[in-house]
Structure 1
Amino acid sequence: MASARLRWKLLRDMEGWLDLPMVVLSLVWLAIVVVELVSGTSALLETVGTVIWIIFILEFALRLWLAPDKSAYLKSSWLTVIALLVPALRIFRALRVVRAVRALRGLRLVRIVGTANRSMNALRSSLERRGFGYVVGLTLLVVGLGAAGMLNLEGARETGGGFTSYWDALWWTGMMVTTMSNEYWPQTSEGRVLTFLLSLYSLGVLGYVTATLASFFVGRDAEEKNGPIAGNAEMKALLKEVRMLRDEVRASAPPAGPARPVPSAG
């Protein structure tokens, strides 16, 4: 028990030390993935990406070594494990199975989802309050990465009639996240999976955004003196008047006289 508590303490301390550096590296990794999906890779991007990938592996290995229950930690981090394994397949590009078009698209989809997961965790740890600003930043991240993924999976060269530029894919992804209709529907299985994930995200975040906007406008109405909704100031004034009325009633009440003796029964 003492060893487990010590490991948990070391794990929390390590997370505090590595929080900011890993957030920066995650955002750089996100930018590299987006550029590679949109414009293709280069020697510089591959070098920088490989260095960051190795750092991610070392950080995950250190977390796994410190975790008291390693099996539970692996189960909770299975998506991170897959995302760390996918870049290693670049070494085996000569293999026919990796060079297959469908296999390549599947690996790209896994990389997109893994990158989104790491970027979301980085954004969550960098913002102390998970408020409306966090949701806005998260939505921009999802739309930007999702557009790059859709261009890569559903580009004109892939399907013969898909997206021709990143801006077209960005517009389409933005319309999808806002649940508006689109004229184009994905042709590949991987593009359909990514579209389904974007739709799930839009359904999850739409309720929060609607509730936040409704709360904002209700608050604005409550601040108006002639508004239809009583605000905090009006409620405080009403409570003050009730307290003053109660004090006046107590002050005007006649003092209680001496208690009369109760006559005996006999």
Structure 2
Amino acid sequence: MSGPGREDRRLAWERRAEIPLLVAATVFLAAYAVPIVWPDLSPATDRTAELVIVGVWAVFGADYLVRLALAGERWRFVRTHLLDLALLVLPFLRPLRLLRLVFVLQVLHRRAQFTFRGRVVTYTVGAVAFVVLIASLAVLDAERRNPEANIQNMGDALWWALTTITTVGYGDHAPTTGEGRLAAALLMVAGIALLGVVTGSLASWFVERLRGVEQAEERTQAALAEILTEIRFLNARLDALERRPSPGD
């Protein structure tokens, strides 16, 4: 099959797989979050959550392999999807486990590419909520094992994530471990990007509104000009009729 035909099949696969992958990402996030938010659960629950994570990870890996097989130019696909490959391989190294959650964002981004048509604000609000939740889980997972850490529960983690992503940064809570600081760095970058999206979206909305007002004014002025032209024409006809001599003169 030709390259363009294979690419069409790959895009069709991605559209069909977006909902199942979104469901899998949600299950993945829940399995990751439960042992972190409730650390006193039984070892059996922890093992079940880990098995769910591995199972969902296998689904992600299968999706990547299918997309690679359907790609028109496979080496080009690998080069242009290095993040997908890295997020599949690197998080199994203990210091990089938090990158598992970045893959959830990658899945959500793929979903947004097909469904996002002019709904910038809705998408941005959802993205902010997910980023805050994911960053909170990641930093709590990293910090809880450090006795000197000041982020010890989900409330602390959420407060830290909110103050960080909004660039307020009170400093009352801060990560102390390498993993926690990596999560903070990723959150800072995401916060800047999301704030840029919000600012750009609002600016675009205002420009569109102003352009709409200007166009409405232009249409109104054009209509008034037509009315004035008609009035002048009618006045000219009336003047001509008044100046015309009557039959009895």
TM-score (norm 2): 0.77
Identity %: 28
- 1:22 has 2:39 as partner: no
Give 2:221's aligned amino acid: L
CA contact (8 A) 2:142 2:177 kept: yes
CA contact (8 A) 1:154 1:187 kept: yes
1:249–1:128: structure 2 CA closer, same or farther, 3 Å change rule? same
CA contact (8 A) 1:7 1:68 kept: yes
CA contact (8 A) 2:165 2:187 kept: yes
CA contact (8 A) 2:15 2:114 kept: no
CA–CA separation in structure 2 for the residues paired with 1:180 and 1:139: 15
CA contact (8 A) 1:23 1:123 kept: no
CA contact (8 A) 1:20 1:126 kept: no
- 1:71 has 2:75 as partner: yes
Give 1:138's aligned amino acid: A
Query: Structure 1: any 5+ residue segments left out of the alignment?
Result: 90-97, 99-103, 223-229, 255-266
Which position in structure 2 is the counterpart of 1:139?
128
Return the offset for 1:15. 2.0
CA contact (8 A) 1:124 1:134 kept: no
1:34–1:121: structure 2 CA closer, same or farther, 3 Å change rule? farther
1:72–1:214: structure 2 CA closer, same or farther, 3 Å change rule? closer
1:109-131 per-residue CA deviation (whole Å, 9 max, x = no partner) reads 32233333233333444444441
Return the offset for 1:67. 0.6
Which position in structure 1 is the counterpart of 2:2?
3
Which position in structure 1 is the counterpart of 2:12?
13
1:55-96 per-residue CA deviation (whole Å, 9 max, x = no partner) reads 221111111011121122112222221222246x4xxxxxxx
1:235–1:207: structure 2 CA closer, same or farther, 3 Å change rule? farther
Which position in structure 2 is the counterpart of 1:49?
53
CA–CA separation in structure 2 for the residues paired with 1:121 and 1:110: 17
CA–CA separation in structure 1 for the residues paired with 2:51 and 2:22: 19
CA–CA separation in structure 2 for the residues paired with 1:147 and 1:13: 35
CA–CA separation in structure 2 for the residues paired with 1:240 and 1:136: 42
Counting only pairs closer than 5 Å after superposition, residues 91-170 of structure 1 correspond to structure 2 as: 104=94, 106-155=95-144, 157-158=145-146, 160-170=148-158
Give 1:199's aligned amino acid: M
CA–CA separation in structure 2 for the residues paired with 1:185 and 1:194: 11
Return the offset for 1:211. 4.8
CA contact (8 A) 2:140 2:152 kept: yes
- 1:240 has 2:228 as partner: no
How many residues are treated as equivalent by the alignment? 230
Which position in structure 2 is the counterpart of 1:34?
33
Query: Structure 2: any 5+ residue segments left out of the alignment?
Result: 40-44, 238-249
